[in-house]
Structure 1
């Protein structure tokens, strides 16, 4: 089995957490910095906003994607809870709750086009 060296075990946990947080923050800042050297010049011909049907279609795609991603996350959590339950009834109930949330999320993702079609009909787009 893998053994942690004594010099690593001697480092306080808060110091390790601070180091990890510093590294994660530095990487996040480096990845989120805008790449101005590669930025394209603004095109004045595409400055007009999109028409309402295009906006609603884009919104539909975003909502479906977010709901499907969240539902998949809950489905994975339900599987992990169920696999690690080990016969614990409370953990099994937690897994069933996460599974129900995943099913609701998938249901909403399927119904998102219908709901946005209703919005489109109400708005007149």
Structure 2
């Protein structure tokens, strides 16, 4: 069974698996950015993605804490704090294009 998996992987990999067999995995470098504006756009996309994921995690934690509070006011306050943090994160995601355009104006791109 493991031999079948190795053969299937060798056939599906680009180059027929010769680079894999030699222990060398070809890595393609990302294309260089054409301008400062492209760099700022890429930065905005990364920030929006990371902050969006973190805000969703905060929202999920707040929801679980709120459901598990069972009337405990301390836990309800912690859940509300998590909800506020998530709202702040989502606000950053929504305002990221504006922030990047301001940064672009400062840099002069």
- Which TM-score applies when normalising by structure 1? 0.63
Alignment of 1:1-125 (within 5 A): 37-40=24-27, 50-125=34-109
- Structure 1 residue ranges without an equivalent (≥5): 1-34
Output one character per residue of 1:8-49: Cα deviation in whole Å (capped at 9) or x when no partner. xxxxxxxxxxxxxxxxxxxxxxxxxxx86221477xxx6x65
Distance 2:60 2:71 in 1: 19
The runs of 5 or more residues in structure 2 that have no matched partner are 1-19
Aligned counterparts of 1:41 and 1:118: Cα–Cα separation in 2: 33
| Partner Cα separation in structure 1 for residue 82 and residue 28 of structure 2 | 47
* Count of aligned residue pairs for this structure pair: 87
Mapped to 2, the partners of 1:100 and 1:49 lie a distance apart of 36
Deviating above 6 A after TM superposition, structure 1's stretches of 4 or more consecutive aligned residues are none
- TM-score after normalising by structure 2: 0.72
CA-atom RMSD in angstroms: 1.9
